Amino acid sequence: MSKAIAAASGKGGTGKTSFCANVAVSLCALGENVLLIDADAGLRSLDLVLGMDTGLLMSYADVLDGTCALSDACVRHDVVKNLSVLTAPASPRVFGAEEIKGLIKLAKESFSFVIVDCPAGIDGNVTDFCAACDKAVVVATPDRVSLRTAQKMGLLLRERGQEDVRIAVNRVRPDMIKRGDALNIDESMDSAGLSLCAVIPEDKEVIACGNSGSLLIFKNKSRAARAYYNAAERLLGNNVPLLRGIGKKF
């Protein structure tokens, strides 16, 4: 059965787009047929992270307007053949909740997984995309400001009808946790009031790959790549430890 997952964040800079891109690629490595939807109208960046900054001409707005079919708007990745991307419009557009719901339903008919990269905050159709999906993941870093906004985002999404809201704690640095300069994972969960979906360690390869448009999953020694892969396996229902193959405790 196809699943749709929306990734949101209370503030910018949490690594939400990297989370979406790398979990999607990991799901593809596990044999899934995945559609990534960039829902960040006006500030779209998924294409850059995936090295697809050319060829994404039609957006989800064109699909909703009836300008083109979903199959024509989706662009397949050159390397990961079972990954497709549907980009956001170049200018901000707000659609009705039923239109967004219809888009997600249509996408689920053709893909085994649909992952939506929502804009930071609550502007535009963030809550509509999250409500239309089967699950919402709030991506946050282990600091009090980010976790406060994650808590508020979680409450808002539940108010708007999304019952399954979880947190992905990103850019985790064990050295800072050990010194008491960052919250540990249990404290992060408690602060946000959300169940845990993923733990992603800080990894310079994430930034390097994002800047070059190369795929993190091919970096064999990347701890973050291993963590994204573990998260993808758990989304498939496989009971694997979040930190399997990473080594350090957080």
Q: Is residue 76 part of a domain?
A: yes
Amino acid letter, residue 233: E
Q: What is the CATH number of the domain that holds 137?
A: 3.40.50.300
Q: Cβ(118)–Cβ(40) under 8 Å?
A: yes
pLDDT of 57 above 90: no
Average pLDDT over the chain reads 92
Structurally, the chain folds into a number of domains equal to: 1
Q: Residue 222: CB partners within 8 Å, gap ≥ 6?
A: 203, 205, 206, 216
Q: Is residue 163 part of a domain?
A: yes
Comparison of pLDDT for 221 and 102, the residue scoring more: 102
pLDDT of 247 above 70: no
H helix or E strand, kind and range, residue 115: strand 113-117
Q: What is the pLDDT of residues 68-111, one digit of tens each?
A: 999 999 999 999 999 999 999 988 888 999 999 999 999 999 99
What pLDDT was estimated at residue 248?
Answer: 59
Q: Is residue 245 part of a domain?
A: no
Q: Is residue 1 part of a domain?
A: no
Q: 213: pLDDT confidence band, cut at 50, 70 and 90?
A: confident
Among 136, 130, 149, residue whose Cα is nearest residue 12: 149
Q: 54: pLDDT confidence band, cut at 50, 70 and 90?
A: confident
Among 133, 123, 120, residue whose Cα is nearest residue 35: 133
Comparison of pLDDT for 33 and 56, the residue scoring more: 33
What pLDDT was estimated at residue 168?
Answer: 97
Separation between Cα atoms, residue 234 and residue 81, nearest integer Å: 22
Give the pTM.
0.94
pLDDT of 124 above 90: no
Q: Is residue 37 part of a domain?
A: yes
Phi, psi values for residue 36, rounded to 5°: -100, 125
pLDDT of 155 above 70: yes
Separation between Cα atoms, residue 113 and residue 130, nearest integer Å: 15
Strand duo 3-8 + 83-86: pairing: unpaired
Q: Is residue 211 part of a domain?
A: yes
Amino acid letter, residue 83: L
What pLDDT was estimated at residue 244?
Answer: 85
Q: Is residue 248 part of a domain?
A: no
Q: Is residue 250 part of a domain?
A: no
CA distances from 79 to 83, 112, 139, 214, 217 (A): 9, 19, 26, 10, 12
The alpha-helical segments, DSSP class H, found in 121-166 are 126-132, 144-159
CA distances from 247 to 123, 167, 171 (A): 38, 21, 16
- Quick one: 221 exposed, middle or buried, by C-beta within 10 A (0-12, 13-18, 19+)? exposed
What pLDDT was estimated at residue 88?
Answer: 93
Among 34, 3, 18, 7, residue whose Cα is nearest residue 165: 7
> Which range marks the domain in which residue 181 is found?
9-232
Q: What is the pLDDT of residues 131-143, one digit of tens each?
A: 999 999 999 999 9
